[in-house]
Structure 1
Amino acid sequence: MKKEMSFKVAIIPLVIMIAVMYFTIVKLEQGPHIPLIVGTCVAALVAWRSGYTWKEIEEAMYKGIRLALPAVIIIILVGLTIGSWIGGGIVATMIYYGLNIITPSLFLVSITAICAIVSLAIGSSWSTMGTIGVAGMGIGLSMGIPAPMIAGAIISGAYFGDKLSPLSDTTNLAAGLTNTDLFVHIKHMLYTTIPGITIALIVYFILGRKFGKDGVDTADIGQTISVLKESFVISPFLLLIPLLVIILVAKKVPAIPALIVGILLGFLSQIIIQGGSISGAVGALQSGFSIETGNEMVDNLFNRGGLDSMMYTVSMTIVAMTFGGILEHTGMLKSIVNQILKYAKSAGSIVASTVVSCFATNATCSEQYISIVVPARMYAKTYRDKGLHSKNLSRALEDGGTLTSVFIPWNTCGVFILGTLGVHAFDYAPYAVLNFAVPIISIIYAMTGFTIAKLSEAEMIQVRKEDATTVDA
């Protein structure tokens, strides 16, 4: 017979997983896969001891994996996109013109703004980082700017647009789960997101001042430009390919077919424009593009991409979601959240607890979708009982869930960024300013009551009617 999970029992897999994760990453300097597998085994054992059959535990793991399958497909397509766009000269063209146009001292501000605009238009932080972000890394590195700074600026811009775009899946998910009008939800997020991006841009402006003309080796930039011209056919017409992908997604074409169009055009560009062979173009899709220019920085940047390069990320996603699936579907996560609710009495503490719970879910379940779905289920009734408008919950879910996923190296977002931008979460974390500023702002608002919306008397009556109807049903 299944026993309800107590907090002391439910916390066991998390404590063991985090301890093993710390030892493995910090002491052994190894990846997070094995600690997550250990956590999954412990969670399965705890669930079995609590009365769950192996078939039920197995199904919980499958449910977790199924939730991540859309992300797995996008990860694979981004790997193919990087391979085809590098081989087709598209990335080289973006870097070439970027080096000629963007001032080093304003690069961090510029790349943040560009990624914000693109992500706002297409509603996808991952697609933005996998395309514009890759080119941005090349431009910034050529200017002598440290990779963690560049990655932090790209991430801040990409997540600003993702968070506020009506096309974003996480934005629609948070609004839908809380039964909040989409544009009411987006408008309420402006209170935390606009101050967050303002702080980020100020920080990037200050950081960028050290990379003015006097602090940058222009000879290195000139050499990079020369190597690009020698190694690729540079043409402004190649910029039409990323522009087309952005337009397709902005026109509400789903991300998968839009990326496939970009991959096909990059593949054809490598053969027709760059003069490569069909075998080489297929190889770039499978194992990534390969080139030897004699310039170490250019070689490191362009020898990448392809399906194979994303298998680390795919395997991490699957392993992480087996762990998260058991925690959610056997009631362990619910037990932990219920324990938190015992101490969250005021409206402010409930909102702050939601933000912290979302971050904790990102750290333990390794998937930003779960960090939105589970707290939404757990806290919805509490918000209604306290007379809080659902837009407070939807905003807290995004502030604490969507944005903090990038800080967890074993979260699907952290792993994706490592595979795409080549920078570890612990390295770019101090520079992803928007992503840590917004949750802090959200908690400050919660504790002061600023922008925390209450239900009107008429809305409270309607909520009570809906709750009564649910109970009767």
Structure 2
Amino acid sequence: MDKPVTPNPWGLTPILMFVLLVLTTGILTNDITAMPVLTGFMIAAGFGLLLNPPHQRLTVGQKVQIFCEGGGNKNIILLVMIFLMAGAFYALTIDIGARDATVNLALNLVPQAWILPSLFVICCFISFSMGTSMGTITALSPIGIGVAESLGLSVPMVLGIVVSGAMFGDNLSFVSDTTIAATRSQGVKLTDKFKANILVVLPAAIITVLLLLNVDAGAAEHLAQREVELLNVLPFLIIIGCALAGMNVIVVLAMGIISAALTGLFNGAFTPLQMLQSIQKGMSWMQDLALIAVTIGGIVGLMTAYGGIAWLMRALTKRVKSQRGAELSIASLVSFLDLTTANNTIAIVTAGPIAKELGQQYRADPRRLASLLDIFSCSFQGMVPYGAQLLSAAAIAGISPLAITPYCWYPMLILGCGLLSIAFGWPRFSQPVKDAL
């Protein structure tokens, strides 16, 4: 479509249809996870194909084309590849005994009472080092699931801990795409944004650790006496080491798959044919997730073409009258964009130019604006059940992503800390901002 997009509130209704389906099904069944996610999104996509942009009438073929272009976005296809490779790696690590060996090693080394906060801190460290929540979730979800099963803990709760730690690094890391997008959009240095960001979210991380210290981790004395086959831990060490070295997530997953396959062949866990079958099995676990990602991309394409995103941006910024109002409007904008696109980087890139314009108009510090863009987008990204993070963790465990959301305590806490930051105008900077190099 070559014509300018006219803002249109009805353009947002496809994603609202999905939310309505989830809520209605949850109320009727007393189970918020009852609605099959892929089915819900397919219904929302079908509803989206019934709509039209303002003052235009598109053919079904044209709307399908828009949907396909959105679903075939390069970022969506990359996400599909990540999901499939993550499934292959997970299946291999189970079949060669890598997951069980890593769990036993962790339980032997970490004090029983500290196992859950230690898992959160480890996830924070890895995600901060590698700059991607998806890579962290891929590497540590299998370990988290193994810990949960060994200790008799709630699998959704432990995955909520993994997702929480992953979002810590997604928000703060110097190499995170959200950090880069936020700082570039506001023209500030990475270090300046980090200083503004860490002062807001560090209390949330500390509170999360304290909460986890009060969760009863049960007893696992029988595991402490098990011998650990260190060779089987090697694939996880390799994938974590490659991630910390800053390698591309595809390369990281490839190294993990290769190392797990070679380990399994070396220790006789499977034959070459069984190895290939294991890889196929893991990828099949991720097929629904891949289809969900493509469907979401298509729905976002339709909402953009129908003017839903444009209307949202205009509605959230038209009544700004003060610096605090500008910051709150920017936070609301990037939050709603993340809810509608299920992609925090896209949300930041979309909201960034408006944030910069409002910041200049109301003299808001761009370092704070970059921080707020990242905090609020990562907060909702770590809670939405149709976001890549929860979808991936849920697919690995074979559970509904809606079951994980209530345990994503850190994303919830940084949302509260972000609102307090706006309310009190903290942190403040005494030195004027310098342009990023």
Q: TM-score, normalised by structure 2?
A: 0.88
Matched, 1:216 2:210: no
Matched, 1:103 2:79: no
Partners of 1:158 and 1:284 in 2: CA distance = 27
Secondary structure of 1:388's match? coil
1:293-312 deviation per Cα after TM superposition (whole angstroms, max 9, x unaligned): xxxxxxxxxxxxx1001111
Unaligned segments of structure 1, at least 5 residues? 288-305, 463-473
Partners of 1:421 and 1:360 in 2: CA distance = 28
Name the CA shift for 1:446/1:96 in 2 (closer, same or farther; >3 Å).
same
Partners of 2:62 and 2:313 in 1: CA distance = 22
TM alignment of 1:191-230, pairs within 5 A = 191-207=199-215, 210-211=216-217, 215-216=218-219, 218=221, 221=223
Structure 2 equivalent of residue 183 of structure 1: 191
1:58-80 deviation per Cα after TM superposition (whole angstroms, max 9, x unaligned): 55434433132222221111111
Partners of 1:59 and 1:377 in 2: CA distance = 28
Asked if structure 1 preserves the Cα contact closer than 8 Å seen for 2:96 and 2:269, the reply is no
- Aligned-residue identity in percent: 17
Structure 1 equivalent of residue 382 of structure 2: 406
Partners of 1:18 and 1:430 in 2: CA distance = 16
TM alignment of 1:131-142, pairs within 5 A = 131-142=139-150
Matched, 1:345 2:348: no
Structure 2 equivalent of residue 299 of structure 1: none
Name the CA shift for 1:147/1:182 in 2 (closer, same or farther; >3 Å).
same
Secondary structure of 1:46's match? coil
- Of residues 351, 374, 398, the one that matches 1:375 is 351
The count of corresponding residues between Structure 1 and Structure 2 is: 427
Partners of 2:181 and 2:294 in 1: CA distance = 21
Partners of 2:238 and 2:388 in 1: CA distance = 27
Structure 1 equivalent of residue 172 of structure 2: 164
Name the CA shift for 1:262/1:386 in 2 (closer, same or farther; >3 Å).
same
Unaligned segments of structure 2, at least 5 residues? none
Partners of 1:247 and 1:150 in 2: CA distance = 23
Name the CA shift for 1:47/1:390 in 2 (closer, same or farther; >3 Å).
farther
Asked if structure 2 preserves the Cα contact closer than 8 Å seen for 1:10 and 1:332, the reply is yes
Matched, 1:61 2:64: no
Structure 2 equivalent of residue 262 of structure 1: 256
Structure 2 equivalent of residue 336 of structure 1: 312
Asked if structure 2 preserves the Cα contact closer than 8 Å seen for 1:355 and 1:439, the reply is no
- Of residues 6, 30, 36, the one that matches 2:35 is 30
The root-mean-square deviation of aligned C-alpha atoms, in Å, is: 2.8
Q: What one-letter code is carried by the residue in structure 1 that aligns with 2:181?
A: L
Matched, 1:237 2:231: yes
Partners of 2:375 and 2:291 in 1: CA distance = 27
Asked if structure 1 preserves the Cα contact closer than 8 Å seen for 2:348 and 2:373, the reply is yes
Partners of 2:399 and 2:42 in 1: CA distance = 24
Name the CA shift for 1:329/1:11 in 2 (closer, same or farther; >3 Å).
closer
Secondary structure of 1:240's match? helix
Asked if structure 1 preserves the Cα contact closer than 8 Å seen for 2:186 and 2:369, the reply is yes
TM alignment of 1:228-307, pairs within 5 A = 234-287=228-281, 306-307=282-283
The structural deviation recorded for 1:42 is 3.8
Name the CA shift for 1:262/1:60 in 2 (closer, same or farther; >3 Å).
same
Name the CA shift for 1:8/1:171 in 2 (closer, same or farther; >3 Å).
closer
The structural deviation recorded for 1:283 is 1.0
Q: What one-letter code is carried by the residue in structure 1 that aligns with 2:21?
A: V
Partners of 2:173 and 2:108 in 1: CA distance = 30
- Of residues 143, 146, 154, the one that matches 2:151 is 143
- Of residues 85, 88, 97, the one that matches 1:80 is 88
Name the CA shift for 1:428/1:166 in 2 (closer, same or farther; >3 Å).
same
1:377-409 deviation per Cα after TM superposition (whole angstroms, max 9, x unaligned): 443311222122322232122211123213222
Matched, 1:18 2:22: no
Name the CA shift for 1:187/1:57 in 2 (closer, same or farther; >3 Å).
farther
Q: What one-letter code is carried by the residue in structure 1 that aligns with 2:229?
A: S
Structure 2 equivalent of residue 435 of structure 1: 411
